[in-house]
A = this chain, B = another copy of it.
Amino acid sequence: MVAGENQKGRDMSNGAATRVQRSREKILAAAERLFLQEGFLGASMDALAEQASVSKQTVYAHFQSKEALFLEVIAAMTGGAARAIGEDVEEPLDDRPVREYLTAIAIDQLDIVMTPRLMQLRRMVIGEVGRFPELGRSLYENGPLVSIRRIARALAHYIAIGQIRDCDPARAAAQFNWLVMGAPTNAAMLLGDEAIPSRAELHAHAGEAVRIFLCAHAVAVDRD
């Protein structure tokens, strides 16, 4: 980091670096589109180069191999989704009622996850679990697991202040998570993007899920 070298032209404010970056971005964008659509085996590097409006040689100048490119694209999407989930988290305040908090969390998650892009990613990763098990694990840990952990933390808080009955927060959080996400994701996995419910439907579903969960776990029971 001393003087010259400008290693791969990446840290200059613009100029040659931008050309490299432009190519790279075009390749990544095309790769995402193509891999999501065709899968790892179904996507060809020739098609990729063409869709990226870039020569095949340039693709290989940027990425070691098809597999390396694939892994990088998927890792980027997985990480991006994880960041999106963690973003506008409103941590539970003492005065925020459980129902309100859980509903907000549920809606938030559904809105972020139930998109064609993420459903396609999920399908792809599931289909490639045999070939790339680490992708499945990564998607699980960056998706459901972070959500569940966050909910568990919140539930622990609500148990502490006496709004939720005593129980294992982790188990309860997992139950809540799948109560919310189970039906829509599973349907979307098998039925395709057209099966993704509308926002309105998702919000109604979130409300129902919260209602059921609170019937079982709230201290003050209001069954409707």
- Chain B residue contacts of A209, Cβ below 8 A: 175
Q: Given A186-B185, A215-B215, decide whether A130 and B136 contact each other with a Cβ distance below 8 A.
A: no
Chain B residue with Cβ nearest A176: B212
Expressed in whole angstroms, the minimum distance between the Cβ of A174 and any Cβ of chain B is 6
What DSSP secondary structure best describes chain A's contact surface? Answer: helix
Expressed in whole angstroms, the minimum distance between the Cβ of A116 and any Cβ of chain B is 12
- Chain B residue contacts of A110, Cβ below 8 A: none
Q: How far, in whole Å, are A169 and B125 apart by their CA atoms in the complex?
A: 34
Partner of A181, one of B123, B130, B182: B182
B187–A140 CB distance below 8 A: yes
Chain B residue with Cβ nearest A127: B127
- Chain B residue contacts of A171, Cβ below 8 A: 208
Among A125, A182, A211, find the residue whose CB has the most chain B CB atoms closer than 10 A.
Answer: A182
- A69-128 contacts to B, CB under 8 A, are 120, 123-128
A162 interface residue per 8 A CB criterion: no
Partner of A182, one of B139, B179, B192, B221: B179
B127–A123 CB distance below 8 A: yes
Partner of A190, one of B41, B137, B179: B137
Q: How far, in whole Å, are A139 and B39 apart by their CA atoms in the complex?
A: 20
B186–A175 CB distance below 8 A: no
Partner of A127, one of B37, B126, B186, B215: B126
- Chain B residue contacts of A216, Cβ below 8 A: 211-212, 215-216, 223
Q: Given A179-B178, A183-B178, A192-B136, decide whether A38 and B130 contact each other with a Cβ distance below 8 A.
A: yes
A63 interface residue per 8 A CB criterion: no
Expressed in whole angstroms, the minimum distance between the Cβ of A166 and any Cβ of chain B is 12
Chain B residue with Cβ nearest A178: B182
A42 interface residue per 8 A CB criterion: yes
Contact string against B for A residues 32-46, beta-carbon threshold 8 Å, 1 for contact and 0 otherwise: 000001110110000
Q: How far, in whole Å, are A137 and B190 apart by their CA atoms in the complex?
A: 6
Q: Given A212-B212, A212-B216, decide whether A137 and B191 contact each other with a Cβ distance below 8 A.
A: yes
- Chain B residue contacts of A187, Cβ below 8 A: 140, 144
